[in-house]
Amino acid sequence: MFRYKLPPWLLLLLPAIIVLAAVVMLPLLLSLYSSFTPYRLTRPDSLFKWIGTYNYEKALTDSKFWAAFGRTIVLLTIALNLEMLLGLGLALLVSKVTRGQRALRTMMMFPMMFSPVLVGFQFKFIFNDNVGLVNNALQSLGITDQVIPWLVDGKLAMFSIIFAEVWTSTSVFAILILAGLYAIPKDPLEAAKVDGCTSWQTFRHITLPFIMPFIYIAMAIRSLDVARAYDIVQIMTNGGPARRTELLWTLIGRTGYVDAKMGYANAMGYTSIFLAIFFTVYFFRKLTSARNELGMGG
Amino acid sequence: MDANRSHRLRAHGLKLAHLMTLFVAMSIICLPGLWIVLNSFRPTVEIMAKPPIWIPNDLNFDNYRAMFAGAGEGGVPVVTYFMNSLIISVTSTAIAILVGMAGGYAFARYRFRGKSAIFVGLMVTRAVPGVALSLPLFIVYARIGIIDTHFGMILTYVAMNVPFTIWLIDGFFRQVPKELAEAAEIDGCTRWQAFWRVEFPVARAGIASAGIFAFLTSWNEYALASQLTRSVTSKTMPVGLLDFTSEFTLNWGGMCALAVLMIIPALVLTFLVQKHLIAGLTFGGVKG
């Protein structure tokens, strides 16, 4: 009897591979195919018409697409860097506290528990120009008597979205960097003190290199779900006003479901997938090299 | 003497500045959430009042009462949504943990060719944005008829969580010394027994934290759920939040009440495992 035995590691990985193949890879192949067709939800037969790279050409020459693309990149760059800096600051602040650190740590994780949709609604209300918390506070304190159109003006709306995004995700960075700060060995820090380093020098040359891998972990984790910003934007502005805050994800969602142009939406979807994969692979690479520097690789 | 005093003054000043900054930072972190909790006890009229009412003078449980009264008042079947969320999140987490344990064990204990390539490959599937994935999933699910079912959502969330649970559990199994399992095998255990009796108990806390992470992800997910669920038979709470909005009005008080209902389980779970959570993320990442 012929009996082929799978190696144990493959057997163990098989369930994961099957699930991911069925729910992620297969649909993605389908969407890759449909991106070469003029598929519309309302006309199922259009799935079998091959139009080559027409959708891609259309997307690449569409100024709306490029505007959304650029805006997504800008949002990700600003938000991720800001979250990293604020998270670092917050972690340093908390680590210096001598009493009640546990309570502070739990408070710090508060935003992580909020569903992104909820965050969207919350900030939609906080930044509401008429009854929002921010405008109410500014007016009651007498700082301004004008109604600031936080979500109506394009630039301010972008600011509000970044604020909401940073609010939810800074704690991811802060928690991980804090864990890194706890893990720093004490000897080099004491040696630096004896040698007369200023606190800035100690931070720059000892603390920072040590927590770098932790920053990259945080970046890797975040880059795995950057698209969660979709929920926030979708609720807060839905890409408006007049597409001023349209990101790739909201543009794709609108094209696919509202305009029912699935083929075209899938073609644009692929660009956003490549963007996400690029970010993920980049940070995993950085993580590996940072690990090796500390001699933790292997 | 004078230098001493100025030095002490500076130290005090620095400490004060530190505490002030910390206080401001924590306020920004906590206030928006607390505002939601507060508003869930206030009637919508008062929340929307202009000029604003800063000191609430009418706190009551009306929003909660309306919410649990079912479809009659307020019109949102919150209990059904809660059950949907619970069934979908718990089942998908349990499956994701089992699959993740198998996968994590494979990565932690076996050497094979293309290991890091397979690992990054698995991670990349997690990076596919929900919206981009929801389009083809919608088509496929509609074809085979599992759209708007618990099964469809569970399947989706298992796939979404598996890469992350593998990553975390891999890190935890690495912490368990290999010799421990080998010793058990020498003593006559099979590999299977060695796993359940020796390695699993040691890594249990870490596995639990991976589970919480998976649970929170499914509990809070919106982009996929908003497209793959259509009616009360499978709508989850994040999607249910939108039931409080209509074209021009928004029942903000009711929405806050549902939001509180959504946050409480997340809050309790996160506090239970916060220590393991941090350990899991760092070990999984740094030493893996």
Q: Do B128 and B258 sit in the same domain of this protein?
A: yes
Q: What's the mean pLDDT in B45-74?
A: 71
Q: Is 80 exceeded by the pLDDT of residue B151?
A: yes
Q: Do B83 and B105 sit in the same domain of this protein?
A: yes
Q: Do B47 and B79 sit in the same domain of this protein?
A: no
Confidence of residue B156 (pLDDT cuts 50, 70, 90): very high
Kindly list the structural domains of chain A, giving each domain's residue range(s) and its CATH number in brackets, ordered by start. Answer: 28-293 (1.10.3720.10)
Supply the pLDDT for residue B74: 56
Q: Do B92 and B175 sit in the same domain of this protein?
A: yes
Q: Is 90 exceeded by the pLDDT of residue B241?
A: no
Mean pLDDT for all residues in chain A: 82
Q: Is 90 exceeded by the pLDDT of residue B91?
A: yes
Q: What's the mean pLDDT in A69-95?
A: 89
Query: B-chain residues within 8 Å CB-CB of A9?
Result: 106, 110, 112
What are the pLDDT digits (tens) for A107-138? Answer: 888 888 888 888 888 888 888 877 778 888 88
Of residues B161 and A286, which shows the higher confidence score?
B161
The chain A residue lying nearest B36, using CA atoms, is A122
Which domain CATH number covers B111?
A: 1.10.3720.10
Q: Do B171 and B120 sit in the same domain of this protein?
A: yes
Q: Do B224 and B102 sit in the same domain of this protein?
A: yes
Total tally of structural domains belonging to chain B: 2
Question: Exposed, middle or buried, B34 (CB in 10 Å: 0-12/13-18/19+)?
Answer: exposed
DSSP conformation letters of B214-278: HHHHHHH--HHHHHH--STTT--HHHHGGGGB-SS-B-HHHHHHHHHHHHHHHHHHHHHHHHHHH
Sign of CA dihedral B140, B141, B144, B145: negative
Q: Say what percent of chain B tops pLDDT 90.
A: 11
Among A86-100, B99-113, B201-215, B218-232, name the one with the lowest average pLDDT.
B201-215
Q: What's the mean pLDDT in B194-204?
A: 82
Q: How far is CA B229 from CA A33, B232, B234, in A?
A: 25, 8, 6
**Which tokens sit at B192?**
């299977």
Phi then psi dihedrals of residue A43, to 5 deg: -125, 85
pTM: 0.84
Q: Say what percent of chain A tops pLDDT 90.
A: 4
Query: B-chain residues within 8 Å CB-CB of A117?
Result: 220, 222, 238-239, 241-242
Q: Do B73 and B148 sit in the same domain of this protein?
A: yes
Q: Is 70 exceeded by the pLDDT of residue A218?
A: yes
What are the pLDDT digits (tens) for B267-287? Answer: 888 777 766 666 666 665 555
Confidence of residue B88 (pLDDT cuts 50, 70, 90): very high
What are the pLDDT digits (tens) for B123-149? Answer: 888 878 888 888 888 888 888 888 888
- The residue of B20, B135, B224 whose CB has the most chain A CBs within 10 angstroms, and thus the best one to mutate to test that interface, is B135
Q: Do B22 and B82 sit in the same domain of this protein?
A: no
Q: Do B72 and B45 sit in the same domain of this protein?
A: no
Q: Is 60 exceeded by the pLDDT of residue A48?
A: yes
| Residue finishing a domain among B34, B64, B94 | B64
Supply the pLDDT for residue A146: 76
Supply the pLDDT for residue A44: 72
Query: Domain residues for B47?
Result: 2-64
Q: Do B182 and B88 sit in the same domain of this protein?
A: yes
Q: Do B127 and B158 sit in the same domain of this protein?
A: yes
Is the ipTM above a cut-off of 0.85? no
Q: Do B83 and B208 sit in the same domain of this protein?
A: yes
H-helix or E-strand spanning residue A169: helix A154-183
Supply the pLDDT for residue B99: 94
Query: B-chain residues within 8 Å CB-CB of A140?
Result: 51-52, 54
Q: What's the mean pLDDT in A173-189?
A: 83
Q: Is 80 exceeded by the pLDDT of residue B109?
A: yes
Supply the pLDDT for residue B278: 65
What are the pLDDT digits (tens) for A136-168? Answer: 888 878 777 777 788 888 788 888 899 999 998
Nearest to B136 among A27, A226, A287 (CB): A27
Phi then psi dihedrals of residue B34, to 5 deg: -65, -35
> CA A260, A262, A263: angle at the middle one, nearest 5?
140
Confidence of residue B70 (pLDDT cuts 50, 70, 90): low
Q: Do A131 and B50 touch (CB under 8 A)?
A: yes
- The label of the residue with tokens 């940073």 reads A166
